[in-house]
Amino acid sequence: MNNSYYYFSTHTTTPSIYSYLEAYNEYKNLDEESRCMLDLLVKEYHKRDKTLNAIDYCYKFIIKHQEEFHELIKLKGSSLKYFLNHYLGYSQQWGASTQSFVKNSSKKAEEISEQELIQEMTDAKGSIKKLLNSSGKDLSAVKPFLPAIMISLDTNTRDKGLPLHGDLQE
């Protein structure tokens, strides 16, 4: 068990992922009108003025929909824009481990041994358990943010005499 694997654990480098999952957990407990407003926030995010950062977009969205956000404003106060920003982070999967890393990418992953990987995945007080707790134990919400491993091989064993996939002749 001395093998090492490339390991993408974005939750350890992007702690805001916990806030994203907590916002999703709170979303599930909101009344239907508030959930609809958050769904609208997400839907309109891509149509926003691109000069606005996410926090400013959330603030303008609150101002535009002040009446509909009345209950949430009472509940969250001035931190509502940060809650909305965190919910956007969840819904847009900012920092998710599902990113694609391709050959010759400038993005680099950590390395982790098999023993460390097993420890990370089974530790009851570890970061994966914290992710699950942040989401209210909703595994489907956590899945895009779970760590990922990639096994990469450097091999010269390919039979160059075999046709490539797509080059097959009938």
* Weakest mean pLDDT among 37-51, 106-120, 122-136: 106-120
Q: Is residue 102 part of a domain?
A: no
Q: Is residue 84 part of a domain?
A: yes
**How far is it, in rounded angstroms, from Cα 56 to Cα 50?**
11
Asked if 118 and 5 count as a contact pair (C-beta separation under 8 A), the reply is: no
Q: Is residue 68 part of a domain?
A: yes
The percent of residues in the chain predicted with pLDDT above 70, rounded, is 68
Q: Is residue 170 part of a domain?
A: no
Q: What share of the chain is helix, strand, coil (3-state, %, to 5)?
A: 50, 5, 40
pTM: predicted TM-score of the whole model, two decimal places: 0.65
Q: Is residue 149 part of a domain?
A: no
How do residues 125-152 score in pLDDT, each as one tens digit? 877 788 888 889 888 888 877 766 655 5
Distances in Å between the Cα of 35 and the Cα atoms of 25, 139, 142, 156, 168 are: 12, 20, 19, 54, 52
How many structural domains compose the chain?
1
Q: Is residue 160 part of a domain?
A: no
- Structural domain of 86: 16-91
Q: Is residue 115 part of a domain?
A: no
Q: Is the pLDDT of residue 8 over 60?
A: no
DSSP state of 79: G
- Name 5's bridge partners: 112
User: For residue 83, how many other CB atoms are within 10 A of its CB?
Assistant: 20
